[in-house]
Amino acid sequence: MKHEKITINGNSLHVEMQKDHGSRPTIVFLHDSLGSVQLWRDFPKKLSAATGCNVMVYDRLGYGQSDPMPSFNRPLNYLELEADTLSDLLAALAINDAILFGHSDGGSIALIAASKYPHRIKAVICEAAHIFVEDVTIKGIKDAIEAYNTTNLQERLKKYHGNKVETLFKAWTLTWTRDEYRDWNIGHFLSGIHCPLLFIQGEADEFGTLAQVDRTITQVSGKSEKYIIPSVGHTPHKEAPGSTLDVSVQFIQSIL
């Protein structure tokens, strides 16, 4: 992977790219609320090799090796703003045929970006994305707060985010548990998604129910399909890497 820093709106973002496949599309990976380039491990390379597509992975602002967030206070539309940043990043890298693979927050960002910037997005694979807030979502976040305060979670996260951990953890947990965030919903973007969509979800996802999947695929305007994995939680690409890779490869091959 080629490593580089790209400045978007005055902020330096850490980007890794592998362009071994000429004019083939680029699979763009969007990490979750505590994720980073490193935490994808070898999944991007495996998907690239199996599909013959290029790949781009990046740390959002405040994560991994990108610049820190200015504050843990986030606006209610922070995921839409991240989709805008993604569009700017794709433009800077001259990527106009992106296949977005987004996990959790990254999946929500992928859905918004596909709606707002269809000229850059060829298809979307969203894994455990949210389009609205559920009771189980809030419970999962409160459980994560408990783990952060009582286990070595903070130290494990520092391995990937350094001294940015406290800010990014607060940014996630304090935003989603705010009373006014309970009404957050990105359903109005879905009808604007005309590209092919695959929604992957673990049946035992501790942060969302299958209603997230069903409401999404019934509201988008393009071809959509779902892949539900029994006995798997919020991170299918880690908990069931083989089946997640296989269904992603099949989906990508079907649209190329």
- The per-residue pLDDT for range 148-198, each reduced to its tens digit, is 999 999 999 999 999 999 999 999 999 999 999 999 999 999 999 999 999
Is this prediction's pTM over 0.75? yes
What pLDDT is stored for residue 248 in this prediction?
A: 98
CA gyration radius, the chain:
17
> Domain coordinates of the chain in residue numbers?
2-255
The chain-wide mean pLDDT, for the chain, equals 97
Report phi then psi at 120, rounded to 5. -105, -15
- Answer CATH for 2-255 from 3.40.50.1820, 3.30.930.10, 3.30.70.360, 3.40.50.720: 3.40.50.1820
- The per-residue pLDDT for range 98-146, each reduced to its tens digit, is 999 999 999 999 999 999 999 999 999 999 999 999 999 999 999 999 9
What pLDDT is stored for residue 243 in this prediction?
A: 98
- The per-residue pLDDT for range 188-201, each reduced to its tens digit, is 999 999 999 999 99
Residue 231: how many other CB atoms lie within 10 Å: 9
> How far apart are the C-alpha atoms of 104 and 232, rounded to whole Å?
14
- The per-residue pLDDT for range 37-59, each reduced to its tens digit, is 999 999 999 999 999 999 999 99
**Dihedral (Cα; 189, 191, 192, 198), 10-degree rounding:** 90
Q: Specify whether the backbone of 5 is left (phi greater than 0), alpha (psi in -120 to 50) or beta.
A: beta
What pLDDT is stored for residue 114 in this prediction?
A: 98
